[in-house]
Chain A
Amino acid sequence: MTAAIVLAAVQTSRATIPDVITFAVAAAVILVGALGVVTSANPVHSALSLVLTLFGVAVLFIEQDAQFLAVVQVIVYAGAIVVLFLFVIMYLGVDRRENIEAEPLRGQRPLAFVLVAIALVGILAMLAAAHWVTGAHAVAGSTTAGGKSNVYLLGKAVFTTYLFAFEATAALLVVAIVGAVMLARRPTNELEDEELESAAGDDESGSGADAGGLPRHGDSDGVDDVPSDAAANAPAHGEARS
């Protein structure tokens, strides 16, 4: 079946055999990675499968003469975003298997499959019926204008045609940084409460096992640390929890 698809791909386009093989391998890697993200019981495995998919997409970017985006894809996605995912998974200590068979909302999964199948059929029908891709080529900003490199052309487009959007992304990144800092830091009164509480706990028990704070949710199931957190937060947010 795969051979038939490859043969059909060769016949319906002006591609060479290596192009088709590259595409087939990259497509298989992408789909395997995507299914791995969805079906892995362990979030760490999901994140590693995501890396697989991102590399496959980067290969297809190179295959389509978008070299700069392929490099950025690997650096930003695989190098930064997935690492951020893994960092949060490890920080929260949720790197263990979860029961993905459980279905809390009855009938939700069949409904999700049906809806996505309808959407997929709609996209493919639109693809089969439309003829826009055979229309006239763009006059300005071609991908191969004058034999210039991809980086040159993309940089020229970003810094001329899309200059305002580029500046807007700078503002967006600043807002994201400020938002992340605001979300991540605790209010100072909660911090003081917690410090007082942990100091008192150390005096009473003398064990000091939690003083380091690092192995909090790591190897245990993390439940026994939570009541102290909840108690520390309760005066400020008591009504929100009830």
Chain B
Amino acid sequence: MSINGDWYLILAAALFAIGAVGLLVRRNVLVMFMCIELMLNAANLTFVTFSRMLGDIGGQAVVFFVLVVAAAEVVIGLGIVVTIFRRRVSTTADDLHVLKG
């Protein structure tokens, strides 16, 4: 018997907050992607915790799909980063100001 699920939820909330701060504060696009992964992991941890608390396997199935979406997102995101880097020579989000109209 694992410990009370509330502790898992608090930990997941803290992990999500750290990822959100990183996403808002950091300027390197690659690190921003990693922070998105942190937030996705916090959501996964919440899903698995609720899956155990409610005795429903559906939460784990959702985590399975989140993993697939995260993999696809990283592939496309890094492809965009490589494409931008060919033109701008840095991976800072500020360099994308050329996209404005």
Contacts and interface: CB of A to CB of B under 8 A. Distances in A.
Interface of A: 9-10, 12-16, 19-20, 23, 27, 30-31, 34-35, 37-38, 40, 43, 46-47, 50, 53-54, 57, 60-61, 63-66, 68-69, 72-73, 76-77, 80-81, 84-85, 88-89, 91-92, 94, 98, 100, 102, 104, 108-109, 112-113, 115-117, 119-120, 123-124, 127, 133, 135, 137-138, 141-144, 150, 153-154, 157-158, 161-162, 165-166, 169, 172-173, 175-177, 179-180, 183-184, 186, 222-223, 226, 229-230, 233, 237, 240-241
B21 A38 contact: yes
Contacts, number: 255
Interface residue range, chain B: 35 or more
Contacts of B96: none
B30 A43 contact: yes
Nearest to A30: B15
Contact of A92 (B22, B76, B85): B85
B69 A72 contact: no
Contact of A172 (B1, B30, B49, B72): B72
Given A34-B18, A61-B48, A112-B25, A76 B67 contact: yes
A76 B68 CA distance: 9
B60 A154 contact: yes
B30 A13 contact: no
B48 A133 contact: no
Nearest to B30: A43
Contacts of B1: 13-16, 19
B61 A158 contact: yes
A37 B19 CA distance: 9
A127 B4 CA distance: 13
Contacts of A176: 71-72, 75-76
B37 A77 contact: yes
Contact of B28 (A98, A113, A172, A222): A98
